[in-house]
Structure formats: C-alpha cells, structure tokens
Amino acid sequence: MLRNIRPNTTSSIDARELAALIDISAVQAFHGEQDVRELAEIAIAQGFVAAHVLPHFVPLLRSLLPREGATIVGGPVGFPSGGHTTKIKAAEAAGLVAAGAQELDMMINVGRLKSNDLAYVRADIRAVVEAIAPVPLKVILELAHLSDDEIRKGAEIVADSGAAFVKTGTGWTPNATTTERLRLIIDTVGGAVGVKASGGIRSLEAIAEMLRLGVTRFGINTKVAVDLVRQCTELPGGRFDLAQETA
Ligand SMILES: O=C[C@H](O)COP(=O)(O)O
C-alpha cells in the first residue's frame, strides 16, 4: 500500500500526524542489532510510517514489527553509492521484498546520470520497479553530488519510470537537503510522484516549509525524528502550525 503520496493540506499537525509523515532509519554502517531493536520499539510506540535498516537487518526488523501495525518495513537498494550493476540491484530488491520489506529506497546510478547516460539510468530504475511490483519504490537522487541540471534530469526520469517517490538523500553525505533544491524537484515532477525529503532535516520549521512546498514524506534518522516529535508534543495544544515561517 502506498502511503502519503498526496501533499499535506492541513494547517496544523499533532505528534502522531507528524510521525505518520516520517520514515525513521538506522542505515549507517555502524548501526548494530541493538539499534534495530530500538528503532522498532520507537516506531511502534510513536507510529512512524516506516522504519528502514540496511539489507542484512531487514529480516530482523520484519520480525520485530507487527504485520498489521502502523509502521512498514523499508530497505535500501544499491545503497549508498548507487553504483551496483542493474542485475545486482534488481536481485537485491527482490530479495528484500521476499524478506518482508514493504517499500524500498533505491540509489540512482549517479555516475551514469552525471555522464548523461540517461537511457542507462532509466533502465536501471525500471528493472527494479519491475522486480518488485507492486511494492512501491523510492529513488534517491543524492543531491549533494548533483548540479541543478542533473537534479532536473534525474527527477524527470524517476517520475517517468514507474517509481512511487523521488527522494533527495541517503544521509551519507554532509550536505543537507535545501528548500531551493526541493522546489526544483517539485517543479519538475509536478505531482506525478511523491517527494521524500531526506538528509539533514533537523527542525520543525524546515518540515513546515517543505510540506508547504509539496513534500509528502520525510526520511530522518531515529534520534532526530524522536526529538522533533517530542518538540511537537510540547507546543501549545500539542499541535505544530504548518503556516509558521522559518525565523
Ligand atoms: O532517509 C535517509 C536518512 O535516514 C536520513 O538521515 P539523516 O536524518 O541523518 O540525514
């Protein structure tokens, strides 16, 4: 089932509604079994829409999350470089779905995008879409590596490839996703796919600004996501005003 594809049109949200917009993750190389167990506990307690772990931990995460619960199991494909062969990406994706993943986030082939080999980039994504259909695929552009023109081209291919979302970053590069570059993506895809903003998102104000732009999902590491939800519960009435401008 595809969640959060439509832009948010409400004027304020509470902590539960905020959590329902956020994929939490423990996808760094150093995350261990205890991190995955904590991720699952937090996801269940707070109702985050999805939890993501590196591929080898997907079976463990699947065993920790209730099948009919609010949180779906996510996993990455070709992560974090995107440089794997198409055959490996498709096989990895199919294996993750067989292990219980319900949504996958695939790294685009950055090197081919930068080489303007757009046919390769498109075929790479389509192979994964076909390998896991009807499971939704998000495709990560990794904005830190791309020029504005490459972002436009990448977003256009994702929107036209059968993927469900275009996503901005892995969290493995230092640059945070900016609203300027998100606007570029949103103008390019024009609502054809969902937009998942991820990589360095650190404040409720940034989230509000991105929701106003048309972002439909966020990817945020667990520690930060939990803190943002806590901040939301501490606001007057426990609601976060989405019209609030960045200071
Ligand atoms: O979805 C991608 C990453 O989980 C984002 O991680 P980050 O919040 O540490 O940048």
- Across the range 205-215, mean pLDDT stands at 94
Please say whether the beta carbons of 72 and 135 come within 8 A: no
Report whether residue 168 contacts ligand 1, using a CB cutoff of 6 Å.
Answer: no
For ligand 1, say whether the CB of 224 is within 6 Å of any of its atoms: yes
- pLDDT at 201 (0 to 100): 95
Cβ(76) – ligand 1 distance below 6 Å: no
User: Can you tell me the mean pLDDT for 95-111?
Assistant: 98
24: left (phi over 0), alpha (psi -120 to 50) or beta: beta
Task: Reply yes or no on whether the pLDDT at 19 is more than 80.
Answer: yes
**pLDDT at residue 244, as a whole number:** 66
Q: Which residues are catalytic?
A: 105, 167, 196
Task: Report how far ligand 1's centroid is from the alpha carbon of 136 (Å).
Answer: 19
C-alpha 162/C-alpha 149 separation (Å) is 21
Could you tell me the two tokens for 99? 């292990």
Q: Which residue has the higher pLDDT, 7 or 56?
A: 56
Average pLDDT over residues 43-57: 97
* Region 159-166 average pLDDT: 97
Asked whether the predicted pLDDT for residue 137 surpasses 80, the reply is yes
In sequence order, the β-bridge partners of residue 220 are 24
233, 30 contact by CB (below 8 A): no
pLDDT for residue 9? 60
CA–CA separation, 60 vs 155, rounded Å? 32
Look over the chain and give the mean of its residue pLDDT values, rounded to a whole number: 94
Residue 195 burial (10 A CB sphere; 0-12, 13-18, 19+): buried
- For residue 8, the model assigns a pLDDT of 55
CB of residue 219 inside a 6 A radius of ligand 1: yes
Residues 25-49: pLDDT tens digits?
Answer: 999 999 999 999 999 999 999 999 9
The answer on pLDDT for 3 being more than 60 is no
Q: Kindly provide the ipTM of the predicted complex, given to two decimals.
A: 0.97
H-run or E-run covering 200: none
| Ligand 1 centroid distance, CA of 48 (Å) | 14
Closest CA to 135 of 86, 96, 190: 96
Q: Assess whether pLDDT exceeds 50 at residue 10.
A: yes
pLDDT in tens, 62-84: 999 999 999 999 999 999 999 99
- Using an 8 Å Cβ cutoff, are 15 and 232 in contact? yes
Q: Please report the domains of the chain, with CATH numbers, ordered by start residue.
A: 13-241 (3.20.20.70)
CA distance 68 to 114: 41
CA 120 from chain centre, in angstroms, equals 23
User: What is the per-residue burial (b if ≥16 Cβ within 10 Å, else e) of 79-100?
Assistant: bbebebebeebbbbbbbbbebb
36 vs 28: CA distance, rounded Å: 11
- On whether the CB atoms of residues 103 and 65 are closer than 8 A, the answer is no
pLDDT-derived band at 103, boundaries 50, 70, 90: very high
Q: In the chain, what is the straight-line distance between the N-terminal and C-terminal CA atoms, in Å?
A: 37
Residue bearing the CA closest to ligand 1, atom 1: 219
Which pLDDT does position 245 carry in this prediction? 60
- Please check the confidence at residue 191 and state whether its pLDDT lies above 60: yes
